[in-house]
Structure 1
Amino acid sequence: MYDALLGPAEIRELAAAHGIRPTKQRGQNFVIDANTVRRIVRTADVRPDDVAVEVGPGLGSLTLALLETGAHVTAVEIDDTLAAALPGTVADRLPERAARFALVHADALHVGDLPGPPPTALVANLPYNVAVPVLLHMLDTFPSLERALVMVQSEVADRLAAAPGSKVYGVPSVKANWYADVRRAGAVGRNVFWPAPNVDSGLVSLVRRTEPIATTASKREVFAVVDAAFAQRRKTLRAALAGWAGSPAAAESALVAAGVPVRARGEALTVAEFARIAEHRPPAGGGKDRAAGDPARPAKRRSAQ
């Protein structure tokens, strides 16, 4: 039986045919194991009615596995050579699914729209050097994304899925949790890549919140508190948020109003608690940001999308 997916020999043949040499600059490590990509697709629960978006498809290992499900697949690729090669690979190996494939030749960090119906799932082996910014950008730009399954560096996977109180809980944890429920979904060994990376990899599952964080603060306002809190994570929030609020006393006032202990540290707070703090920023400290970012913020609580 013909297997449309790519193995080690096919990956190297494609790379040689197109003069492709993986570069560290773009975090290019190609998956060479068909069982791994099928496992990713199965864990992501990709269905025929899905519109899946893939970032960094490379030579097409995961792309072909996604297309096997019958889903529509849009791949976003920044590399000129890889972007030129991928449509031909799809047409050669899965011609019956080629009509369900679209390629966007662009930097995923700057993608603002995609062809076809709105995407429902993000499934990707993200370039490790930009994994978190790309993930957050995609979740923010495409509210139609119901879920995501991404492969990232193992340490990054731990940070994304960390709960308050964990030593690795930080900015990626809180910001990802703004959009979705996040959990670790498995580990991936180094030997399934070519070239083999120097780090282990992990899978992270994100399911978008059905009930967004209820807050009168905007995402920008909440994220400003998060950034300030973790910029000096060893300090108490009263000290860490002094610059954000205008003074230690103003920070204490905001914390008390939000019902957060003034001697707490950022690593102990949930995203909802950060949102409450953002709601109580003193006017003298927050006027400029609010005017620039949210000139007509409604008074009632609204969706955090």
Structure 2
Amino acid sequence: MSELLGPAQIRELAERLGIRPTKTLGQNFVHDPNTIRRIVRAAELEPDEAVLEVGPGLGSLTLELLAVSGQLTAVEIDPRLAAELPATVRRLAPELADRLRVIEADALGVRALDDPQPTALVANLPYNVSVPVLLNLLAALPTIRHGLVLVQLEVADRLAAAPGSKVYGVPSAKLAWYGSAARVGVVPRSVFWPVPNVESGLVRFSRGAPPPTAASRAEVFAVIDAAFAQRRKMLRSALAGWAGSPAAAEAALIKAGVDPTARGETLPVAAFARIAEARTA
């Protein structure tokens, strides 16, 4: 069993580095080893897998991921944390140090990575940018075939929501473009430092084929954005701006086999793809 960072070590390390967790960077560090092991078990990683971690922070999750995977790429935006992470691994798990690659970067700007290409994403994502980061990485890194992310509980529910759910919306539909997702656990706020104001949730996802369509991902996502911009409106009204007029929106919906009086929250991603294709054909 790998040695992990506990509450005292987390605080001592942060103090030595002059780190004061900020809301701007969405920094909430998990300090409970049992929770870390639970997260990694839920990720269902293969022993030789190349894993991507976003926002490793002080290294709580990093150490356990290194112990169960073949190679770990950690993307960290804070230069102090990025510089310290290899030293933390060398100190606590020297036999695993050669498995770690640290990249100082904003995950929202990642467009490609050098080999080995990651096949899994496991991360405690910053609350304030969790959805954009997840969607960007799935778009930029097609080798990622599955993963597990720790996000705000409300966001976890949205990411995993099915059509017809009250919380189904833009994050749900866009993640569904890439595959399936499910909420697989709740993480209490007490295991974080600093303690957040909300509970957190674990979302596991698996990549699948996008809906068959001649429309591009950007075109489909534009329909999704328009449909939920005013989610209480019927689609023929909600999509009027996107299509150019209510009449053009209604024509595209009918061509796509979608009821113009339906609302976006009832549609699966395949229906949004048909609408995009109907307008662009």
TM-score by length of 2: 0.98
Q: Which residue of 2 aligns with 1:185?
A: 184
Q: Is the 8 A contact 1:250 1:282 kept in 2?
A: no
Residue in structure 1 matching 2:230, options 221, 229, 232: 232
Residue in structure 2 matching 1:251, options 210, 225, 249: 249
Give the C-alpha shift of residue 246 in structure 1: 1.0
Q: Which residue of 2 aligns with 1:286?
A: none
Q: Is the 8 A contact 1:225 1:274 kept in 2?
A: yes
Change (3 A) 1:70 1:208: closer
Give the C-alpha shift of residue 277 in structure 1: 0.4
Distance in 2, matches of 1:195 and 1:120, equals 31
Identity of aligned residues (%): 65
Q: Is the 8 A contact 2:2 2:64 kept in 1?
A: no
Q: Is the 8 A contact 1:104 1:114 kept in 2?
A: no
Distance in 2, matches of 1:241 and 1:76, equals 38
The answer for unaligned runs of 5 or more in structure 2 is none
1:65 aligns with 2:64: yes
Deviates more, 1:111-120 or 1:153-162: 111-120
Q: Which residue of 1 aligns with 2:11?
A: 12
1:102 aligns with 2:101: yes
Alignment of 1:125-204 (within 5 A): 125-204=124-203
Q: Which residue of 2 aligns with 1:290?
A: none
Give the C-alpha shift of residue 148 in structure 1: 1.4
Give the C-alpha shift of residue 135 in structure 1: 0.2
Give the C-alpha shift of residue 67 in structure 1: 0.5
Q: Which residue of 2 aligns with 1:303?
A: none
Alignment of 1:239-278 (within 5 A): 239-278=237-276
SS at structure 2 position matched to 1:281: helix
Q: Is the 8 A contact 2:2 2:67 kept in 1?
A: no
Amino acid at match of 1:154: L
TM-score by length of 1: 0.90
Distance in 2, matches of 1:37 and 1:162, equals 25
Give the C-alpha shift of residue 13 in structure 1: 1.3
Distance in 1, matches of 2:69 and 2:179, equals 26
CA RMSD of aligned residues (A): 1.1
Distance in 2, matches of 1:244 and 1:282, equals 12
Amino acid at match of 2:258: V
